[in-house]
């Protein structure tokens, strides 16, 4: 089943609860929280205190995407703050298996993230442990970037591996997912569709979430990507 996962990175941070409520009314079912440390990626965002406040603002699962070095040092804090899903980058974890076990141990659903330049096959060994795999379709650090087309082949490859291995982890895609790319992303095999700028960029989260989800569901039913009749999505705008 496809699900829309609004990324609050492009939301108005002074009105996060309202923004999330609007995205939920538009059909968003998981809230994506981008955690950046200024080291692993060239940007800084939010951490456990904000997750703790978000926990009071919504009952939707909080999907925390850690773009940080030494994630092991922060797993406990995210668990205490109320995170539901925690994903860590393959590229940031020299002992990935241990980090995923730590997330599980704290009662959260573990995910692994791979950057655009990282091959899907490199994570094969840990696939049985994860709840979701997040394929980055931009280089992480900013919202509003262009979707990298070769990500589609990586999504298909991951879906193929999942079938071959008989596993049930979910496939999530993050970066440049918008009205003009979401159908292809779904057709390639992704189910968790992270969208920041395309949901929050125009300040019409309910309307734009609904429009995106509509395209995604049509694509999932095999209706293809016409996009006809959809309201124009906001222009791409790189967000801090």
Q: At what angle do helices 205-220 and 16-25 cross, to 10 degrees?
A: 40
In whole angstroms, how close is the CB of 138 to ligand DX5 at the nearest point?
6
> Phi and psi for 113 in degrees, rounded to 5?
-115, 140
Chain centroid to CA 221: how far? 22
Nearer to ligand DX5, 138 or 213 (CB): 138
Residue 32 near ligand DX5 by CB under 6 A: yes
Q: Which residues contribute to the site for Zn ion (CB under 5 A)? A: 34, 65, 174
In whole angstroms, how close is the CB of 111 to Zn ion at the nearest point?
11
| Cα(199)–Cα(23) distance, integer angstroms | 7
What is the CB-side half-sphere exposure of residue 62 using CA atoms within 13 A?
28
| Catalytic residue from among 37, 63, 174, 214 | 174
Beta bridge partners of 32: 7, 63
In whole angstroms, how close is the CB of 174 to Zn ion at the nearest point?
4
Q: Radius of gyration over alpha carbons of the chain, in Å?
A: 16
Residue 111 near ligand DX5 by CB under 6 A: no
Q: In this structure, what token pair is assigned to residue 215? A: 């395209």
Q: Which helix (H) or strand (E) holds 233?
A: none
| Catalytic residue from among 34, 84, 208, 214 | 34
Looking at beta carbons, which residue is closest to Zn ion?
65
To the query of whether residue 214 is one of the catalytic residues in this protein, the response is: no
Residue 181 near ligand DX5 by CB under 6 A: no
Which residues in this chain contact ligand DX5 in the complex, by CB under 6 A? 7, 9-10, 32, 34, 65, 138, 140-145, 174-177, 194-198
Catalytic residues: 34, 174
């Amino acid at each position: 089943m496809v699900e829309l996962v609004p990324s609050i990175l492009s939301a108005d941070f002074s009105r996060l609860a309202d923004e999330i409520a609007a995205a939920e009314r538009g059909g968003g079912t998981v809230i994506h929280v981008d955690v950046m440390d200024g080291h692993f990626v060239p940007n800084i965002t939010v951490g456990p205190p904000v997750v703790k406040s978000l926990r009071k603002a919504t009952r939707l699962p909080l999907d925390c995407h850690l773009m940080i070095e030494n994630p092991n040092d922060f797993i406990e804090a995210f668990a205490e703050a109320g995170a539901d899903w925690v994903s860590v980058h393959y590229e940031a974890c020299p002992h990935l298996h241990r980090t995923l076990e730590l997330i599980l141990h704290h009662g959260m659903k573990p995910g692994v993230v791979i950057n655009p330049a990282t091959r899907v096959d490199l994570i094969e060994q840990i696939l049985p442990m994860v709840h979701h795999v997040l394929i980055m379709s931009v280089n992480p650090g900013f919202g509003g970037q262009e979707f990298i087309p070769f990500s589609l082949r990586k999504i298909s490859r991951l879906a193929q591996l999942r079938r071959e291995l008989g596993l049930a982890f979910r496939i999530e895609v993050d970066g440049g997912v918008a009205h003009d790319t979401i159908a292809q992303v779904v057709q390639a095999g992704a189910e968790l569709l992270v969208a920041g700028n395309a949901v929050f960029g125009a300040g019409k989260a309910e309307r734009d979430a609904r429009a995106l989800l509509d395209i995604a569901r049509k694509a999932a039913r095999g209706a293809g990507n016409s996009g006809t009749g959809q309201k124009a999505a906001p222009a791409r705008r790189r967000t801090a």
